[in-house]
Amino acid sequence: MIMNLALNARDAMPDGGTLTIETANTGAPPDRRPTMPTGQYVLLRIRDTGAGMPPHVKQRVFEPFFTTKPTGEGTGLGLSAVYGIVKQLGGFIWVDSEVGRGSTFHVYLPAAVDAPVYEPPADEWAAPVSVQPRPTVLLVEDEDIVRRFTRRALEQRDFRVLEAATPEEALSIAGATDSIALLLTDVVMPRMSGPELAARLRRTRPALPVLYMSGYPENLVLPGRTLDPSVRLLPKPFTSAQLVEMIQRVLAAHAQRA
C-alpha cells in the first residue's frame, strides 16, 4: 500500500520534488464525522509537490484501470488496489489535490487496541529447507524493491535465480538457457502481462511450472478468467518462507505429473 502511494507520488514529480510520509495515532477528523466513526486511528499521510490533479481526475483516481499515463506506461490498478486494501481493513482514504501544488493522500486505519505484537522467528532467513539442488527460477518483476527481496529470499534458500525487470528481458534470458525449472512472475506489468509471458514461454516449454505474484485480487487482474490448474497465485505481500513454500508446492506438483 505504501509502495503504491509512494510510486504514484514519484510519477507525479517527473522533474523532481519532495515526497513526505507522515504517520500518527489520532482520532477521526471533525470534518469527516459522522461518516467516520469516533475512535482511535492510525494515520498515514503521503504528500507530494507534483503536478496535482484537476477535479475530474481526482474524482476517478481510485477507479480500477483509470490512468492518465500514456498507453503502456501504467495499469491503472495501483491506487484502486490501495483503496481496496484500506476498505478491507475497515479504513478510510481520500485525496486533497490542487493543480500545480501537489497532492496529499490521507489513510485512516482503525487502531488495534491491545493487539499482540508479531515477532518473526529469528531464523526466518536461515532456516534449512529441503529443495532439489539449485533449481533455476526465472524471476520477472518490474518493481526493483520487490525483485531484490525475492531474489535474496530465493538465493538464501539455494535457488539459482535468473532475474528480469521486464517480460521482454525474460524472453531473451529464456532463449539462452534450457535449465529453467519454474517461472516466477508478476501478473500486471506494462506492455505484457504475466499470463501472456507464460503463454509465450510455454510454446517451447509446454510443461513449465508457473507461479504468479500479485498484490491485486485475482478477479481484478484476471477478470473473467481462471488460472491454469498447473500454476498457482501467491498474494503480495509475502514472507520469504511463504515464497519458498509455494515454490516447493508448485515444483512438487509438477514432479508428480511428470
Is the pLDDT at 229 greater than 90? The verdict is no
Average pLDDT estimate for 213-224: 66
How many helices and strands in the chain, by DSSP H and E?
Answer: 8, 9
- HEC states along 214-228? ECCCHHHHCCCCCCC
How confident is the model over 24-35, as pLDDT tens digits? 999 988 888 778
Contact 94, 106 (CB under 8 A): yes
22 or 75, higher pLDDT = 22
Which ranges of 25-113 would DSSP assign to H, the alpha helix?
Answer: 55-58, 78-88
Is the pLDDT at 223 greater than 60? The verdict is no
- What is residue 3's predicted lDDT score, i.e. its pLDDT? 84
Which position has the grid cell 524472453? 171
Residue closest to 124 by CA, chosen among 6, 239, 222: 239
- What is residue 224's predicted lDDT score, i.e. its pLDDT? 52
How confident is the model over 61-92, as pLDDT tens digits? 888 776 666 555 554 567 888 888 888 889 99
How many C-beta neighbours within 10 Å does residue 36 have? Answer: 17
Could you tell me the pTM of the whole model? 0.56
Is the pLDDT at 253 greater than 80? The verdict is yes
Residue closest to 103 by CA, chosen among 59, 50, 63, 66: 50
C-alpha grid cell for residue 106? 490521507
Is the pLDDT at 108 greater than 70? The verdict is yes
- What is residue 239's predicted lDDT score, i.e. its pLDDT? 87
91 or 218, higher pLDDT = 91
- What is residue 131's predicted lDDT score, i.e. its pLDDT? 43
Across the chain, what does the average pLDDT equal? 84
Distance CA 91, CA 30 (A): 16
Q: How many CA atoms lie within 13 A of 138 on its CB side?
A: 26
- Out of 164-168, 181-185, 235-239, least confident range: 235-239
Please report the domains of the chain, with CATH numbers, ordered by start residue. 2-110 (3.30.565.10), 136-257 (3.40.50.2300)
- What is residue 134's predicted lDDT score, i.e. its pLDDT? 78
Is the pLDDT at 167 greater than 90? The verdict is yes
> Kind and range of the H or E element at 8?
helix 2-11
SS3 of residue 231 by DSSP: strand
